[in-house]
Each structure stands twice: as structure tokens, then as C-alpha cells.
Chains A and B, each alone.
Chain A
């Protein structure tokens, strides 16, 4: 039996939701990873889902983009229930959602330019080579790595790969960006740079972001609101300052 969730502070939804999850459940065999999970991501907001390793954060984000099929529940993304979409409609909706993988997932047989062009060429078929070049340079300029244009991913450092992965995510100008552990495995300085870049991106493109993380420094810098995921449920919710003051021992554990 899962324990009853203890809501600490409930933040009020002030804007239109771009993602609304209701009663989401996902299990692998006997292991119930998510149960009765609810979440709302508002327009222009940076929402962090905080949880221990193995708590189901990555499962949640993969259900939102439908890399994993949920067992039950609804996931409304930009007004469409992603669970019900057919393959074509799903691909159309996915163009509006960027996904930054924990391991970056750069195409290692392609140069940085080809990595960035790959989604562009397949979705914006009518753009000229000149326009494609312009968009690629704009994306690289956003992450400050124009000089890597013709390099292979293996020639880049961990931080540079993360930036290129973010540039590839940004190139289709998504409305929502899902970040899966964006600073895990990076040194503190690079982690800070990536966190600042995420905020810059949000301000420049007015994106809404769902950030999966347990890096408290990154969370403090980026989060407008935090959801604590525990035992497959939304255990607590609030701003960083509100949760930091919480007397609940489970929540306090994260902030100590």
C-alpha cells in the first residue's frame, strides 16, 4: 500500500496549463512506479519534479512524450490527450515539445551541423539551405558554440554536448521543453552554466519547462514551482522557499 500524500503547500495555477496530467498510473510488472499522479504545468512556467533516484521521474517524463505507454490516466499536452493520439498526430504534437535527454542522445555518426539539421529537414521541408544554415547558426549562437559546427559529438566535452543537445532541442522552437536530469554528471561550474542557459532560453522563447532533477543547486536556480514525487505520487508542492521551510521529514531530506 502506498502512503497517503501529505500536501505541504499548493501553488495556485495562475496561467493556462500546457500540460495537465490526471490520475496517471504506470507499473512494470509488480512494481507500481506511478499511481494516481496529478500535475499541471502552466504557460511560461519552470516546474521541477524532485524525487530520489528510481522514484519514477524519468518514467513520468517519458510517459508525457509517450516514449512509454501509461497504464491509465490522461495526459493533456497543449490541449490534446497524448495517450489517444495516432502516430501522425503524435509526431505533429512532438514537434512542439523539446526533450533534453540525460545522456544528451546526440547522433554520434553525424556532425553537430547534421545533428541540428536532422529534425529541421524532416519537419520544415520547404525551407531553403540558406534558411536552414541561419536557423542552425541561431541555435548554436543561443548556446555559445558556433565554432563546433563541423565537429563530431565525440570531440566535444560533457558540457558542450549538453549545450549542443539543448541547441538541437531548441531548433524547432518548441512550446514546451522537458529536461531529464539536465545537470547530472556535470561539474558545478558547468552545471551552473547549463542552469543559467535554461533560464535564458525560457525568457527568450517564452517556453514552459518541466525539469526532472535532484540537483538542488539547479532546482534553486531554475524552479518557479516544485513537485516532490514520492512513492509514485505528488507528495508535496510549492516554491523552493516554501518547501525549504517544510517541517515534513521526507521533504526536509531533500533540502538538507
Chain B
């Protein structure tokens, strides 16, 4: 494909995903509400992601502390380590890294699950029985990703700080209460709230893109694999784009 075809394909895909997202907003308020399926999706998407998110959060905090220590020691500000880690984790690393892990785990699984349902005509079977598969499959999953990711990010942030606490104590002797005081002393409203709000957008984007790619999967098993793969690629890039927009917005609103 040449550049103009690539550009056209990009805008066509972006338009189709936007229209899919608009359909979500149209359907989300209409009864019947698939409460049982929503709760099941929250369990699958949120609870079952906890071990992975917890592990990556812990490693993130620990490694960041170990990596940052030599530079801070060089300038004689080693004592600022907990404060710096907490700002970095809460403002940027926690939300973005957790969202990327989430996109890899949940984006691909939604893309593959809905994709295989599409190619085996299970979604068609729901449509022909007049049961609105969009509401049952898409609305529940997008709501679950939107609400579960912020909770997972908060947990990942907390576990990352615990990892950092252990990292600080590898070569030092800092009590938990001192570490805690340093962390809470530096964090402000502008560090936590904007970063927390953007995670809802991350979760929404991952859910919509995963569902879109799966819902429109074609060409048999190869198409299912492609849907899962593209769901991860597009949602990961979208996480960075949203992050870029969010930092500009918070900057303009003087929330930094």
C-alpha cells in the first residue's frame, strides 16, 4: 500500500472505531441491563488480572528504586528517593505501564474471544434471535474495562510503592512510617487526580478497541489471531496518545 492508501485506511479505521464507541453510548442507557454478564466480566477482567498487575507493579517499584539510587546518591539527595518514586509512579509509570499490561492481557483476550464468536457465527446467532449481542458482549466488556482499570492502577501503584520500600531497604535502613511520611508528604491533588481520571479513558479505549477488532473479525482462525494482535497494537498506541493529550490538558488547566 502507498502512503495515500495507508492514510485513507488509518482514517477509515479511526472513523469506524469512533462510530463503534458512539454505538456504545447509545446502547449503554437502554434496557435490558446485562447485570450478571457485567459482574462476570468485572471478575474476569479485574479480579483475574490482579496477580499479573500486582507482580508488574511490584517489579516496577523495586527496579525503579534500584536504578534511581546511584544518580540520587551522586547528588547527595538519596533521602528523596521515596518522594521521587511516588511522584513518578502515581503520575505516569503506574497508569501507563498498568494500562499497557492490561491492553496486552485483556485487549487480546477480548479480541480473540469475540473474534472466534464472530467466525463461528455465535454473534450472528444472537442477532437472528433478536437478543442484541452488542449489549450483551460489547457494553458489558467496555464498562468492565473502564471501571476495573482505575482500580487495578491504584492497586498497582500501592504495590509498586511497597516494592520501592523494599528497594530502599536493600542498601539502607528506612522505616515504613518514614517511607510513608515521605510519600504522602510530596503527593498533591495534582499528582493523583488527573492521573487517576486518565485511567478511565485508558480502560475505555482498551475495551472499545478490543471489542471492535473482535466484533468485526473476518477470515476464519487467521482473522481471529489478527484481531487479537491488532487489538493489542492499536490499544497500546492509543494509551500513549491519550496520555499525551491528558498531560497537555492538565498543563493547560494548571493541574500540574
Contacts and interface: CB of A to CB of B under 8 A. Distances in A.
B122 A105 contact: yes
A119 B129 contact: yes
B130 A108 contact: no
A141 to B, nearest CB: 20
B131 A103 contact: no
A90 B130 contact: yes
**Central interface residue in B32, B120, B124, B128, by most chain A CB within 10 Å:** B128
B130 A105 contact: no
Contacts of B32: 122, 125
Contacts of A90: 130
Q: Which of B32, B122, B125, B127 has the most CB atoms of chain A within a 10 A radius of its CB?
A: B125
B131 A67 contact: no
A123 B126 CA distance: 12
A65 B128 contact: yes
B155 to A, nearest CB: 27
Interface string B118-151: 0011101111111110000000000000000000
B130 A94 contact: yes
A211 interface: no
A255 interface: no
Interface residues on chain A, size class: 20 to 34
B129 A105 contact: no
Could you say which interface size class chain B belongs to? 10 to 19
A205 interface: no
Contacts of A168: 129
Given A103-B120, A105-B120, A125-B32, A92 B125 contact: no
B52 to A, nearest CB: 22
Interface in A80-94: 90-94
A149 interface: no
Interface string B23-45: 00000000010000000000000
A101 B130 contact: no
A254 B132 CA distance: 39
A69 B34 CA distance: 28
A240 interface: no
A91 B122 contact: no
A99 B124 CA distance: 10
A103 B117 CA distance: 12
Contacts of B131: 91, 118-119, 122-123
A99 B128 contact: yes
Nearest to A65: B128
Given A122-B32, A125-B32, A67 B129 contact: no
A20 interface: no
A104 to B, nearest CB: 8
A222 to B, nearest CB: 21
Contacts of B125: 99, 101, 105-107
Contact of B121 (A91, A105, A122, A123): A105
Interface in A89-135: 90-95, 97, 99, 101, 103, 105-108, 118-119, 122-123, 125
B221 to A, nearest CB: 13
Nearest to A67: B124
B120 A94 contact: no
Given A122-B32, A125-B32, A101 B124 contact: yes
A93 B32 CA distance: 18
A108 B120 CA distance: 10
Contact of A91 (B117, B124, B132): B132
Contacts of B121: 101, 103, 105
Nearest to B131: A122
A75 to B, nearest CB: 14
Interface of A: 65, 67, 90-95, 97, 99, 101, 103, 105-108, 118-119, 122-123, 125, 168, 172
17 contacts: A67-B127, A90-B130, A91-B132, A92-B130, A94-B127, A94-B129, A95-B129, A99-B128, A101-B121, A105-B120, A105-B125, A106-B122, A106-B125, A107-B125, A122-B132, A125-B32, A172-B129
Interface of B: 32, 117, 120-122, 124-132
- Of all A-B residue pairs in the complex, the 4 with the closest CB atoms, nearest first, are A91-B130, A105-B125, A94-B130, A105-B121
Given A94-B127, A106-B122, A107-B122, 16 more contacts: A67-B128, A91-B131, A94-B128, A97-B128, A99-B129, A101-B121, A103-B120, A105-B124, A106-B125, A107-B125, A107-B126, A108-B122, A118-B129, A119-B130, A122-B32, A122-B130
